[in-house]
Amino acid sequence: MAFAPIFLISFLFHGLIAWRLLPDLPDAAALILVGVLLVSALLVPRGLMGRGAKRGPWSSAMVWAGLLCMGLFSSLLVLTLLRDVLLLGGWAAQVSGLTQKWDTLRTTSALAVPILALLMSIVGFWNARRTATVVRVDIPIVNLPTALHGFTMAQISDIHVGPTIKTHYLQRIVERVNSLDAHMVAITGDLVDGSVKELGRHIAPLVHLQSTHGTFFVTGNHEYYSGAHGWIEALRALGVQVLMNEHVVIHHSHNGQNPGHAMVVVAGVADYNAHHFDESHRSDPHKALNHAPAQALFKLLLAHQPRSAVAAEKAGFDLQLSGHTHGGQFWPWGYFVRFQQPFTAGLQKLGTLWVYTSRGTGYWGPPKRFGAPSEITLLRLVPS
């Protein structure tokens, strides 16, 4: 991979920020910002290299620094562009004779941009590195059998074990999931960002996940970037049930209950774009329901991307659990998710299908979550 163009692009965008802010800053503030931008311009490409960086403590530290700078740079760039919009409005007001405080506006707004970007990055770092909080969601299901009232599903998604997320981070997630005493655990893709050789040991905590009926996994797009076939084998070796356009039937009956009505069909599909990597993995919700028992009155689909919902609704599923979006991860990117996915986060309905989209349990790239907190979701079935 040629990194020279990446360094060039990095310097150009950091230069744009400098061009727009430095002329309006006091000398001391301008000097500090120049130093920050120069360091960031050099380190952001190292963060983008991520998995391609050489191993070792020094290299790992450089990747960490690059990813932190990437988060700060993103907010600096967005706020700089928003400041220009503000200044355009201020200029129009000045031309119209509505304001005489043009110089004050320029200086104050130039100071506000780096201060706000830094605060967003600090808060975002804390949000990203803490263990995800538990979000509890009730799913109202029409004609839900009595045997399934209160059936619970713990969902984790988009952890992205990789350059900055390792064993201990995942272990904390596992411990919190286990505290929920869920009937099943669903992992809806993007567990990893790297090969089995690089990261296999870091997913070991998953073997300790506890629930009544086990743990189920579906692939996300990042599994395909990282060698999906190897990860499927590694997860199965840990006792995780990987569902590839197929289903299993959970028998949740207790004494005195109709065993047929207590069935739960748990189906899973490969990532929506899996066929670009392996045609045999083409995502197919209809295929995932082949030969499912007709007497099963609740059908659950695990699908990494929310846009699988159209086919899932046609196939006859009652609930789809997805991730992928991260809820945007940090402001303002959540506003752009809707251009690629039908749902950004939370519980939505498409026809007769409920769709729950997790904001994700980890993070991708910069260790930063601002306005889109991570989550471990506990979903409970209730009668409609």
Last-in-domain residue among 94, 109, 129 = 129
- Structural domain including 78 reads 4-129
User: Who wins on pLDDT, 257 or 343?
Assistant: 343
User: Which H or E run contains 169?
Assistant: helix 167-178
256 has pLDDT over 90: no
Judgement on whether residues 258 and 346 belong to the same structural domain of the protein:
yes
Least confident among 4-13, 199-208, 319-328, 350-359: 4-13
Q: What percentage of residues in the chain have a pLDDT greater than 90?
A: 84
Output the pLDDT for position 89.
Answer: 82
Judgement on whether residues 338 and 260 belong to the same structural domain of the protein:
yes
Output the pLDDT for position 56.
Answer: 61
201 has pLDDT over 90: yes
Last-in-domain residue among 129, 162, 184 = 129
Output the pLDDT for position 295.
Answer: 87
pLDDT in tens, 107-130: 999 999 999 999 999 999 999 999
- Point out which residues pair with 330 in neighbouring strands: 370
Longest Cα separation, the chain = 81
CATH of the domain at 179: 3.60.21.10
Last-in-domain residue among 129, 144, 175 = 129
User: Which DSSP string corresponds to 204-235?
Assistant: GGGGG---SS-EEE---HHHHHS-HHHHHHHH
Judgement on whether residues 137 and 204 belong to the same structural domain of the protein:
yes
Judgement on whether residues 366 and 245 belong to the same structural domain of the protein:
yes
Band of residue 60 on the pLDDT scale cut at 50, 70, 90: confident
Q: Tell me if residue 188 falls in helix, strand or coil.
A: coil
**Six token digits for residue 320:** 């789809």
52 has pLDDT over 60: no
Q: For the residues 334-353, what does the mean pLDDT come to?
A: 95
CATH of the domain at 9: 1.20.58
Number of domains in the chain: 2
Q: What percentage of residues in the chain have a pLDDT greater than 70?
A: 93
Query: Is residue 63 within 8 Å of 53, Cβ to Cβ?
Result: yes
Between the CA of residue 69 and those of 149, 301, 340, what are the distances in Å? 48, 38, 26
Output the pLDDT for position 96.
Answer: 57
Query: Is residue 272 within 8 Å of 245, Cβ to Cβ?
Result: no
